[in-house]
Amino acid sequence: MTLFAVAFASVALAPGSAAVINQGKLKHLIFIVQENRSFDHYFGTYPGADGIPTATPCLPSQWYPSQCFTPYPNHLDSNQGGSLKIAAQMLDIDGGKMDGFVITREQQLGPGCAPHDGKPAPRRIAATMVDDEGFTQDVHCLVDVMGYHDGTDLPNYWSYAQNYVLQDHFFESTMSWSLVGHLALFSGWAAVCPDTDPPQINSCYTSPAGVGWSPNEAPPYLWTDITYLLYKNNVSWRVYNDGGLAGSPQGKNGTAWIWDVLPGFETVNQDDQVANAEYDQTQFFNDASNGTLPQVAWLLPKYDDAEHPQASIAQGQSYVTNLVNAVMNGPDWSSSAIFITYDDMGGFYDHEPPPYAFDSLGLGIRVPAMIISPYAKTGYVDHQVCSTDCYLALIEKVFLKGESLSQSGRPDPRPDYRDTESQYGSLLNDFDFKHTPQRPLILSTHPMTLLRQDPVDASPRPGRQVRR
pLDDT of the residue at 467: 60
The pLDDT of 11-40, averaged and rounded, is 75
Q: Cβ neighbours of residue 315 under 8 Å, at least 6 residues apart?
A: 304, 305
Q: Whole-angstrom Cα distance, residue 292 to residue 286?
A: 8
In DSSP notation, 356-420 reads B--BTTB---B--EEEE-TTBPTTEEE-S-B-HHHHHHHHHHHHSTT--GGGSSS----S--GGG
pLDDT at 18 over 70: no
pLDDT at 463 over 90: no
The pLDDT of 399-416, averaged and rounded, is 95
Q: Taking the chain, what is the end-to-end CA distance rounded to the nearest angstrom?
A: 36
pLDDT at 13 over 60: no
pLDDT tens, position by position, 110-128: 888 888 776 665 556 666 7
The pLDDT of 335-352, averaged and rounded, is 97
pLDDT tens, position by position, 222-256: 999 999 999 999 999 999 999 999 999 999 999 99
The pLDDT of 394-415, averaged and rounded, is 96
For residues 106-123, b (16+ Cβ closer than 10 Å) or e, as one string?
A: bebbeeebeeeeeebbbe
The pLDDT of 349-374, averaged and rounded, is 96
Residue with the larger pLDDT of the pair 269 and 457: 269
Pairing mode of beta strands 28-34, 336-342: parallel
H/E segment holding residue 268: helix 266-270
Output the average pLDDT for the chain: 91
pLDDT tens, position by position, 175-195: 999 999 999 999 999 999 999
Q: Whole-angstrom Cα distance, residue 431 to residue 258?
A: 32
Pairing mode of beta strands 136-140, 125-130: antiparallel
DSSP annotation of 50? S
Contact 31, 293 (CB under 8 A): no
pLDDT-derived band at 133, boundaries 50, 70, 90 = confident
Domain boundaries of the chain, sorted by first residue: 18-41+151-430, 54-148+451-467
Q: pTM (2 decimals)?
A: 0.93
Burial of residue 129 (CB within 10 Å: 0-12, 13-18, 19+) is: middle
pLDDT of the residue at 124: 62
Q: Whole-angstrom Cα distance, residue 27 to residue 181?
A: 26
pLDDT at 328 over 70: yes
pLDDT of the residue at 14: 41
pLDDT of the residue at 157: 98
If one looks up domain 18-41+151-430 in CATH, what number appears? 3.40.720.10
Q: Whole-angstrom Cα distance, residue 80 to residue 105?
A: 10
